[in-house]
Each structure stands twice: as structure tokens, then as C-alpha cells.
Amino acid sequence: MDIFGIDAALLSFVIIAAAFLLFAGLELLVPFRRLSQPKLQRWLTNLGLFAIDTLAVRLLVPGAMIGMAVLAGERGWGLFNLVALPAWLAILLTVLLLDLALFLQHWATHFVPVLWRMHRVHHVDRDFDVTTAARFHPFEIVLSMLYKVAVVAALGAPVWGVFLFEVLFTCATLFNHSNTHLPRWLERPVRAAIVTPDMHRIHHSVRMPETNSNYGTLLSLWDRLFGTYVPQAQDQQDTMTIGLNQWQDDNPRRLGWSLSLPFLPNRPG
């Protein structure tokens, strides 16, 4: 698929890479929190997980969301291929409904035990920066992509809508995991629409009532609507403890350990 004469995958990569470099640069110049672990080893582990995740998706779910959107359009599958809607409305609804679907999936990863075993790989990171956005177990990423592909097929989502969602969602993930902080005068109006780093950082608190809150990635609407919104952490944002109480040690920064975590016995927390 070409967009403005450019391959969609290449265009998406360029936009997302630029967003990563932007937030990584801001973290370097004006970090909000002092990191508790050596940055190089954490980054190698988190980006190593991302590389494995990317390879796994390429091998096991070729074409992924964009491929399914193209196929659904060709075969007439899904809601938007059965109901005539203006193109702009179908694209807008695609972004909204996919964001809602991912919100519900994220909620499920905290309460379905087998999913939590995989998702806790993301949460054991004891620091919170732009690479935390890339820190997921490959099993979770593959299952997540299969789920997203199924949602795209059920919606009959237009290709443009899927492309826009993927770019917005990934850039939002990088933004709200970044080690940055909006000034107070800006935080409130921005958070009224989208998830900010301060809002999502609460979700990475070691306090489980806070961990089990603020599931949104792109829009802050869903947490408010479903009653999972926590506006303020009990502790100060710049000193609150990040991660899971059971693993406040050096293990989370190790790649091999992170890959084995879903299979390790639970520790009392």
C-alpha cells in the first residue's frame, strides 16, 4: 500500500522512528526522573525484546493489521464493508474503536492470570522511559497482534483508518512512557483528550490499586468512562517507586530473565 507515493510500512517507520528520537532526546536533555538502573543495560534489554517481538510478528502474523484491512476490503468482510459510511467517518470510527479494543485488551492482561504472566514483563521495568514502551514479551505481542487482526476483520476497517491508528497509537505509546513531564498549566487540557506521561506513570506504580488503573494508551476517555481513572498517585511522580514489588532487584534489566519471567513461579508481593 502506498500513501502519498510512499510505501505505508516505510512511512510508518519514519514517523515512529522520528517520535522515538524526539522523546529520547527530550529525556536526555531534561529528564523528569532520575533512573535507578544502568541505562545502557536496560536499553539493550528493552530494545532487544522489541527486536524479538518484531521478528516474531513478521514470521507468525505476516501482513498484520494493514494486510487484514486490505484483505477485508477485497473480500467485503466486516461492519464497514456492509454499512455505507462516508470515508472520513469510517476512518474516525476505526481509530476510536481500535483504541477501545486495545483498552479492553489491556484491562484483560491485568486480570486474566495467564495474560498477566506475560504482561508483567512490561511492568517489572524499574524505570520508566521511552524504551519501556517497547518492553513486551513476544508471546504477548503475537497474541495481541492476532487480536488486533481479528478486530480489524470484524470491523472491515478501511486501510487508511488502520494506518492512521497504528501511527497514532504507537506515537502515543512512546509519548506516555517517556521520562518527561508536562507543565501543570498544560497537563490538564492535554490529559482531557489524550494519555500523558504523568497519567500513565501512575499505571506503572508498585501500588497495585494504581497499577490496576489508567489502562488507556491514546485517549484518556476510556478510563474515565469505565471508572478506572486515577488522577493522582499516592506518591510524588518524580520519586514514586516504579515496577512490581516482587522484583525490585537487578533481574528486570536482564534479557534472558525477562524472556523467562512468564514461566517463573509467582513471588509474594
Domain ranges (residues) in the chain: 34-262
Which tens digit of pLDDT belongs to each residue from 106-142? 999 999 999 999 999 999 999 999 999 999 999 999 9
Distance CA 229, CA 199 (A): 9
Distance CA 123, CA 107 (A): 14
Which tens digit of pLDDT belongs to each residue from 7-45? 777 888 899 999 999 999 999 999 999 999 999 999 999
Of the candidates 11, 19, 5, 2, the one whose C-alpha atom is nearest the C-alpha of residue 174 is: 19
pTM above 0.75, yes or no: yes
Alpha carbon separation from 206 to 44, 56, 213 (Å, rounded): 23, 30, 12
pLDDT at 233 over 80: yes
Whose cell is 522484583? That residue is: 247
CB atoms < 10 A from the CB of 136, how many?
21
